[in-house]
Structure 1
Amino acid sequence: MDRRLAWFTLTRRNLLRGALAATLAASVLTACEDDDKVTHWYGSWSASPQDHNEPFPVPPPPSFFNHQTIRQALRTSIGGDQVRVRFTNLFGTSPLKIDGARIALSAGGSSIQPASDTELRFNGNASVTIPAGGELWSDASELKVGAGEALAVSLFLASETAVSTVHAYGLQTHYVVAGNALSTETLSGAETRSSYYFISGADVRSSARANVVVAFGDSITDGVGTTPDTARRWPDYLSRRLQPDGSAGTVSVLNAGISGGRILNDGLGPSGVTRFERDVLGQTGVTHVIFLLGINDIGAGAFIPEQAVTVEQMTAGTQSLIDKAKVRGIKVLLGTLLPWKGADAGGVPYYSEEGEAKRQAFNAWVRANTTVDGVVDFDLALRDPANPLALLPAYDSGDHLHPSDEGAEAIANAVDIRLLKVQP
C-alpha cells in the first residue's frame, strides 16, 4: 500500500506540475498573442519651455493674465483613442493655479467643435495648482484624435497670474478673452497671441506600435521663416511625409526647437546640454532624435563675444548628448549645419569668414561621426550649387539664415525615413 500510495502521490504531483506548466505556457502564449493589442502612450505634440523673463523675449508677451481664458491651438503628429496634456510652470517663481481646462477638436480660428469638447481633469479634480518649477500631466481624456488633427486646449486663470513659462515663437494664433469661456464655441472679440503659455506637450494612447522622433534644434527647427498658422516647420513636413507613406509604420515627430537655441550657452532658451534630458529624453515613448543645432553657437559671437566657442567645444557638447541618447537606446541622426552666407540678425552681421570656417569644421566632424545611426546632410540638400556657402534662393526666407516653406520641406525630404522605421 505504501508503494502504491507513493506512486499515486508522485504521479499526481507530476500531473499537477504538467498542468501548471501548460497553464503558464498558455498564459505566456496568450500574452504574446495579445501584445500587439496592448495600448501605450506616445508623444504627439510638443513645444519646449522657455523663460518669459529671459533676455530679449520675442515676441513680447503680456506680463500677466487675470480672470481670462486662453485657447491655444496645436496639431497632433499621430492619433489615438485618448489624449493627455502636459501643463508647465517650469520657470515660474510662484505656484500656478489653473482653475479649469478643456480640450476639443478645432473648427478653425478660435472655434471648437462643440460635440468634442471634453474636460481635462487632474487626479480627478477640475482645477490644479502646479508648484514653481513643476510640470504636470492632465488625466487621460476620452477624446479620439487622428494624425494631423487640429486641437484646441483652453485654460481658465481666475486670478492674476504672472506669465512665466512660454514657448515664444509658437507660429500659431491663440486667443484670449475675459472670464470663463472654456466651452464657448467661438471666442468673439478675442485678443490674439502667437506664443504658447503653460503647455508643453500632448500625448495620445494607441494600440499601434509607434516610434517617436524628436527634432532637436534652434529657430530653423522652431519654424522661423515659415508661414504662421500653416504648420510648415520642417518637423511638420516630416510628420506629413511619414503618414501617407506608411512604409516606416506609425511614427510621431515632435518639435523640440527653440529660437536662438545653442548647444553650450543659454540665450533665448536653455542651452542644448541643459535641456536635452527634459526636451528629448523625457518625451513619452522617444525612440529617435534628429540633431540640427550649432549655428547660433557660431554666430552669437557677434552679439556676445565673451560667449564665443571653439569647434572642439561644440563637438564635445554634441557628443555628450549623443552618448546620453545611446545609453537610453535612442537612435541618433546627426545633421550638418545649413549654409548661411549673408545672414544677419536684426541688422547685425551674423555670417563671417571665421564663422564659416567653424561651420565647415563642424560639418566635417558630423559627416565623419561613426557613433550615430545616420547622418543627414542638410547642408548639401539646401545649398545653392552656384554659391555653395549660401542657401538656394528658393529655399531662403529672405534673411539668408532661415529656410522658407520650400526650404523647410527640403529639410524634411533630406531625412531617410528608412532610419525611422518601426521594427517588427
Structure 2
Amino acid sequence: MIGWAAVLVAAMPGAAAAQQCGWRPAWVSAQMVPGGENRLAPGALTDASLRQVVRLTAGGAKVRVRVSNAFGKEPLTVRAASIARPVRVDGAAVREGSIVPLRFAGRAGGMVPPGADWLSDPLPLRVAAFDDLAVTLHLAGEGGEQTSHPGSRATSWLVKGDATRTAAPTGTTPTEHWFNLSGIEVEACQPARTIVVIGDSITDGRGSTTNGNNRWPDLLARRLAADPRTRGTAVLNQGIGGNRVLGDGLGPSAMARLDRDVLALPGITDLILFEGVNDIGQLSRAERPTEADARALVAQLTAAYAQIVARGRARGLRVHGATITPFGASDYYHATLLIEGVRQAVNAWIRAPGHFDGVIDMDRAVADPRRPDRIDPALDTGDGLHPSPAGFERMAAAVPIEAFAAPVAGRRPNP
C-alpha cells in the first residue's frame, strides 16, 4: 500500500520538477599511481595544500567535489578544502572574496578510505560551462601511495600549511600534474547530455598547450556548445597517457577502469571509446611478431571493444567508436606491414555497422592523404604518433555531432 505521505508529496506543486534535478559531472580526471618524475617528493603532501585549476564543461546552481584516494594504501586525511575563482589559469592566485569552504558531512575536513573516492557536501554556487575553478586541498599526507593524474596539461600549486583560505599564497611550487582530485559535479534540473571519452595520451592531450585547454575533447565541447542542437552537452576527458585497452601499463587498462571512470559517473548519456594504439604499438615493439600474434591481437582487441559496448549499453549509454590514428612515422612504434595490417583490421571492425552506436573516423581526419599510414605532417607534433593542436582541431571537427543531438532511447538524459 502506498502511504498517504507519499501521495501528498507527489501531489505537491513543484514535486515533479524537484525530482528532475540530478547530479552530473562537469569535469573529471582519470586517476593512477604516478611513476618516475611524475611523483611528488616523499613528504611533499604532509601538512601541505594543493591548489588545482580545472575548466568545467557544464553548469549548475550547486557543486560538489570528488576527492580520490583510489590508489592509496592508507586513509587520506583532508584537513580543509575550498573552491574559488582563479585570477588566471596559469597562476596560484584566486579572486578576493571568491573563496568558499567545502564541507564533508558537515565538517571542515574528512577522511577518504584507501581505494575510495569521497564527495564533498553540495555547495550552493552557480557555475557555467567553461568556467575555471580552483580547488584547494589541505592534506595531512599522501595516504601511503600517491593518487594522481600525471597528464594534467595544467599547472597546480603546492605550498606547505593550510592555504585553503589564502587568495594569493606565497612560496608555492608549481607542478604540472593533478593529485587526489577526480571530479567536480554540478546539479542540473533540466535534461542534459553528458559525453565521457575514455582514451590514451591522444585524448589526454599530449601535444596540446599547457594551460591552453585545447585537447580535442576541449575543442569538441566548444563545438557542441556553439550548435543549438547540442548546446549544454558536457564532455568529460578520461584519457590516460600510455593507456591500453587490454593490459595495465601507465594506469589501469580501459577494461579495468571502465566501472570507476565511466559507468559509476552520474548522468552519463554517451561514451566515446578511443583506445588501442598502445596495444598495437606494444606488439610492434615485440621481438619478431608473427601473423598469428597479429590475428590474436585483432581478435582480443575487438572482443574487448564488444565487451565495453555491451556494458555501456546495459547502463543505457550510446557507445561511439573512434578509429585508431596512424603512426607510420613514429620511431617508438614500428608500423611494419604486419602492424599496419592490425590497425587497418581493427579500424575496419570499428567502422562496420552494428558494432558501435556511432563511428568517429579519427584515422581519416588526421591521416596524410599521400601516405595514409602516417599523420599529415601539418597535424603532427613531430613524433609521428601524437597530433598537434591543429590536429586536435581537425579531430574535434570530425565528430558527427548530429549523433549526440537525438535523445537517448529508453532513458532520460539526466536521471
Is the TM value for this pair above 0.5?
A: yes
CA 189–365 in structure 1, closer or farther in 2 if over 3 Å, else same: same
Q: Which residue, 227, 232, 235 being the options, matches 1:250?
A: 232
Match for residue 329 of structure 2? 342
Match for residue 373 of structure 2? 389
Q: Counterparts of 1:170-319 in structure 2 under 5 Å?
A: 170-302=152-284, 310-319=297-306
User: What is the TM-score normalised by the length of structure 1?
Assistant: 0.88
Match for residue 119 of structure 2? 137
Encode CA deviations 1:181-221: one digit per residue, 9 max, x unaligned: 11111122310111110110110112232111001110100
Letter in 1 for 2:304: G
Match for residue 354 of structure 1? 338
Contact kept in structure 2, 1:218 and 1:257, CA below 8 Å: yes
Q: Give me the whole-angstrom Cα distance separating, in 2, the residues matched to 1:297 and 1:416.
A: 26
Q: Give me the whole-angstrom Cα distance separating, in 2, the residues matched to 1:397 and 1:61.
A: 28
Contact kept in structure 2, 1:82 and 1:205, CA below 8 Å: yes
Letter in 2 for 1:73: V
Contact kept in structure 2, 1:211 and 1:422, CA below 8 Å: no
Q: Which residue, 84, 96, 102 being the options, matches 2:64?
A: 84
The structure carrying a bigger strand percent of its residues is: 1
**Secondary structure at 1:147 match in 2:** coil
Encode CA deviations 1:114-140: one digit per residue, 9 max, x unaligned: 322111111111111111111111111
Contact kept in structure 2, 1:71 and 1:176, CA below 8 Å: yes
Q: Give me the whole-angstrom Cα distance separating, in 2, the residues matched to 1:296 and 1:245.
A: 33
Match for residue 14 of structure 1? none
Encode CA deviations 1:157-198: one digit per residue, 9 max, x unaligned: 245754521111111000011211111111223101111101
Match for residue 370 of structure 1? 354
Encode CA deviations 1:334-368: one digit per residue, 9 max, x unaligned: 111001111133xxx44333221110000011111
Aligned residues: 395
Q: Where in structure 1 are there 5+ consecutive unaligned residues?
A: 1-19
Match for residue 364 of structure 2? 380
Match for residue 317 of structure 2? 330
Contact kept in structure 2, 1:61 and 1:195, CA below 8 Å: no
Identity of aligned residues (%): 36
Contact kept in structure 1, 2:201 and 2:241, CA below 8 Å: yes
Letter in 2 for 1:106: P
CA 183–101 in structure 1, closer or farther in 2 if over 3 Å, else same: same
Q: Which residue, 59, 62, 85 being the options, matches 2:38?
A: 59
Which moves more between the two structures, 35-44 or 278-287?
35-44
Contact kept in structure 1, 2:62 and 2:187, CA below 8 Å: yes
Q: Which residue, 357, 382, 390 being the options, matches 1:398?
A: 382
Q: Counterparts of 1:142-161 in structure 2 under 5 Å?
A: 142-159=124-141
Encode CA deviations 1:8-59: one digit per residue, 9 max, x unaligned: xxxxxxxxxxxx9xxx899679669x5488422111101001023xxx5453
Q: Give me the whole-angstrom Cα distance separating, in 1, the residues matched to 2:9 and 2:128.
A: 35
CA 125–31 in structure 1, closer or farther in 2 if over 3 Å, else same: closer
Contact kept in structure 1, 2:71 and 2:145, CA below 8 Å: no
Whose radius of gyration is greater, 1 or 2?
A: 1
CA 276–26 in structure 1, closer or farther in 2 if over 3 Å, else same: closer
Q: Give me the whole-angstrom Cα distance separating, in 1, the residues matched to 2:286 and 2:99.
A: 48
Contact kept in structure 1, 2:381 and 2:387, CA below 8 Å: yes
CA 323–395 in structure 1, closer or farther in 2 if over 3 Å, else same: same
Letter in 2 for 1:98: V
Match for residue 24 of structure 2? 42
Match for residue 54 of structure 2? 74
Which moves more between the two structures, 107-116 or 229-238?
107-116
Q: Give me the whole-angstrom Cα distance separating, in 1, the residues matched to 2:286 and 2:222.
A: 38
CA 235–229 in structure 1, closer or farther in 2 if over 3 Å, else same: same
Contact kept in structure 2, 1:209 and 1:250, CA below 8 Å: no
Q: Where in structure 2 are there 5+ consecutive unaligned residues?
A: none
Give the deviation of 1:371 after TM superposition: 3.5
Q: Give me the whole-angstrom Cα distance separating, in 2, the residues matched to 1:84 and 1:404.
A: 33
**Secondary structure at 1:301 match in 2:** helix
Letter in 1 for 2:364: L
Q: Give me the whole-angstrom Cα distance separating, in 2, the residues matched to 1:333 and 1:276.
A: 15
Indicate whether 1:99 and 2:79 are aligned.
Answer: yes
Q: Give me the whole-angstrom Cα distance separating, in 1, the residues matched to 2:200 and 2:142.
A: 32
Q: Give me the whole-angstrom Cα distance separating, in 2, the residues matched to 1:26 and 1:207.
A: 18
Letter in 1 for 2:164: L
Encode CA deviations 1:265-313: one digit per residue, 9 max, x unaligned: 0000101111111111111211000111000001023556699861100
**Secondary structure at 2:157 match in 1:** strand
Q: What is the aligned-residue RMSD (CA, Å)?
A: 2.4
Contact kept in structure 2, 1:395 and 1:404, CA below 8 Å: yes
Q: Give me the whole-angstrom Cα distance separating, in 2, the residues matched to 1:30 and 1:141.
A: 25
CA 28–48 in structure 1, closer or farther in 2 if over 3 Å, else same: same
CA 288–94 in structure 1, closer or farther in 2 if over 3 Å, else same: same
Contact kept in structure 2, 1:57 and 1:168, CA below 8 Å: no
Match for residue 111 of structure 1? 93
